[in-house]
Amino acid sequence: MTITERIFAAHAGKKEVSAGELINAKVDLILANDITAPIAIQEFKKTGAKEVFNKERVAFIPDHFAPQKDIKAAEQCKMLKDFSKEYRLGLYFEVGRMGVEHALLPEQGLVVPGDLVIGADSHTCTYGALGAFATGVGSTDVAAAMATGECWFKVPESIKFIYHGTLNKWVGGKDLILHTIGDIGVDGALYRAMEFEGEAIKNLPMYGRLTMCNMAIEAGGKNGIIIPDKMTEEYVKGRARRPYVFYSSDANAHYVGVREYDCSKIPLTVSCPHLPSNTKPAAELSHITIDQVVIGSCTNGRLEDLREAARVIRGKKVNPNVRLIVIPATQRIYKDAMKEGLLDIFIDAEAVVSTPTCGPCLGGHMGILAKGERALATTNRNFVGRMGHPESEVYLANPAVAAATAVLGKIGVPEELGL
């Protein structure tokens, strides 16, 4: 079995499962946010259940339109707060204690290797970086799981992606996954487990792994997953709130495809409008002027991402034609960035720093685009109208390219700044 199949078998109480099989499996953690939880709450109440299956395994995180941007957002957030109080949920994260959900839960040790996690948010696949099976589901599935502690699944086929060699300067997990999506397309892994391995993955820090698994959904993947190793152990040791299990894939596990990449040939990569698969080397896009740069999100809002951007922008100014918005993904990241002086670097460069929120990523708030404006962001989607006006454009890149672009006023790379 593959690692995905092993996790499913363990949670379904079976000796083995195979691709295509329909199963019911116990879930370790359920999450929802201020957009998706209200529907789940309404449906949960229709079931007649008196309690959630486990008060410490249901996480409600207001992060999309929070801090509440308008009356509708306030009403949605209030539903989460009221339900959490009524059912005494232990994992409700109010503004000030919260963060972007997919950065917060691993940081807090609430997702651990071997888990089976579902979330009413498509980027729940992020947690595969820890060696867990994690996938996005609909709000009604969340409601049923809140009542029963179980969810149904069709076991996905697996594709193996092997990354050979070492990464070029400034190239990271974002470039690897953008390059991969550019290669296979936005439906290239439709309903399949994307298993990442190889020398480059073994040497990739956890924040880069989280970025890669976060964007598995952009290739149509059911989940992204990395077999846990020493890097995983170092990350979860001391923060895991529960015992964990390291699963792996058998040597004779079946894969519907294997794709291999030479990392020495993977450049700093940008996704151009209006699909994550529309990728080009960043160096070929220097003619594209930019109005807004966003550094943050569940994809690239971690402390290491902010450090990378700060190394590029230190001692420089944001181009007068650009607004740079920096959004640390959690309160802890915000505080650590403040202690390290990263926020000083950004503010001295004339960027704005926001409290943790998904904000502009989904066209919510904190950086909406006007007609004809272009943004380069470290986020994960660049569909038509994703960040505002349907006639605006969004380009996706890693934090180093984003910082260089903010200084240059056009899509650029750190080398253009002598770095």
Beta bridge partners of 22: 154
Q: Which amino acid is at 353?
A: V
Model pLDDT, residue 58 = 98
Ordered DSSP codes for 298-352: HHH-SHHHHHHHHHHHTT----TT-EEEE--SBHHHHHHHHHTTHHHHHHHTT-E
Q: Which amino acid is at 166?
A: T
CATH of the domain spanning 3-261: 3.30.499.10
**Domains 3-261 and 269-417 alike in fold:** yes
Spell out a b/e string for 274-284, using b for 16 or more CB atoms within 10 Å of the CB, else e.
Answer: ebbbbbbebbe
Q: Would strands 150-154 and 22-26 be described as parallel, antiparallel, or unpaired?
A: antiparallel
Distances (CA, A) of 296 to 24, 121, 136, 385: 36, 17, 21, 19
Distances (CA, A) of 223 to 127, 158, 193, 343, 386: 9, 9, 5, 34, 22
Q: Per this entry, what is the length of the chain?
A: 419
Q: Rounded to two decimals, what is the model's pTM?
A: 0.96
Model pLDDT, residue 225 = 98
Looking at domain 269-417, which of 3.30.499.10, 3.40.50.10190, 3.40.630.30, 3.40.50.2020 is its CATH number?
3.30.499.10
Query: For the chain, what are the domain ranges?
Result: 3-261, 269-417
**Along the 419 residues of the chain, how does pLDDT read in single tens digits?**
999 999 999 999 999 999 999 999 999 999 999 999 999 999 999 999 999 999 999 999 999 999 999 999 999 999 999 999 999 999 999 999 989 999 999 999 999 999 999 999 999 999 999 999 999 999 999 999 999 999 999 999 999 999 999 999 999 999 999 999 999 999 999 999 999 999 999 999 999 999 999 999 999 999 999 999 999 999 999 999 999 999 999 999 999 999 999 999 999 999 999 999 999 999 999 999 999 999 999 999 999 999 999 999 999 999 999 999 999 999 999 999 999 999 999 999 999 999 999 999 999 999 999 999 999 999 999 999 999 999 999 999 999 999 999 999 999 999 999 99
* Cα–Cα distance measured from residue 369 to residue 391, given in angstroms and rounded to the nearest whole number: 9
pLDDT digits (tens, 9 = 90+) for 40-50: 999 999 999 99
Model pLDDT, residue 319 = 98
